[in-house]
Amino acid sequence: MKVLLLTGLGALFFAYYWDDNFDPGGLDYLVLNHIGGAPAGTRARSPQATRWLMQVNFVSYVQLTSRALPSLTDSKGSLVVVSSLLGRVPTSFSTPYSAAKFALDGFFGSLRRELDVQDVNVAITMCVLGLRDRASAAEAVRGVTRVKAAPGPKAALAVIRGGATRAAGVFYPWRFRLLCLLRRWLPRPRAWFIRQELNVTAAAA
């Protein structure tokens, strides 16, 4: 079994390095779990920050998927995409980050439909995760959100299980599935819930 796990900014450079220097032959799993972060708040929505986040959090995912797809098609493999709740439910003071994550959801949702109608047996697992207890993540949202970070190892285990079982979607913590359903059914309660999790004064500073 051949698994390629891409995390951190190294994945961004790998996207360009892959062209002539890497043979993906026999690849069974491609796990995309790299992000470019930006501090939460109104200052994060500049054109420069948005361009950077779209390059790291969306365009590089597309590049790596395009290069791996022929090998995954041959092996009937799996593509595991680690995304965020902010790619399903928009919230305040995360404009460029949320935009990049919504783009991921649209791209891979459409790709799944394309593969299905072409009878291509490649599974796509979209993982919708919340804030994890990483130092970098905690620093980026310090003073802005009251959300309690979820344990990183448990989130990783949920991703592994989802990829191994070829699940279409993974939600961790599990309550995020309900929140995504509420997005269309009950928009007012959803907006109230999100507002309770924010320190608006700090975020707007």
- 82, β-bridge pairs: 127
Question: Among residues 52, 87, 80, which one has the least CA distance to residue 65?
Answer: 80
Q: Measure the CA–CA gap between 102 and 109, rounded to whole angstroms.
A: 10
User: DSSP per residue over 144-182, as a string?
Assistant: TB-PPPBPHHHHHHHHHHHHHTT-SEEEESTHHHHHHHH
Which residues are catalytic, by number?
97
Q: Measure the CA–CA gap between 170 and 193, rounded to whole angstroms.
A: 22
Are 190 and 82 a contacting pair, CB within 8 Å?
no
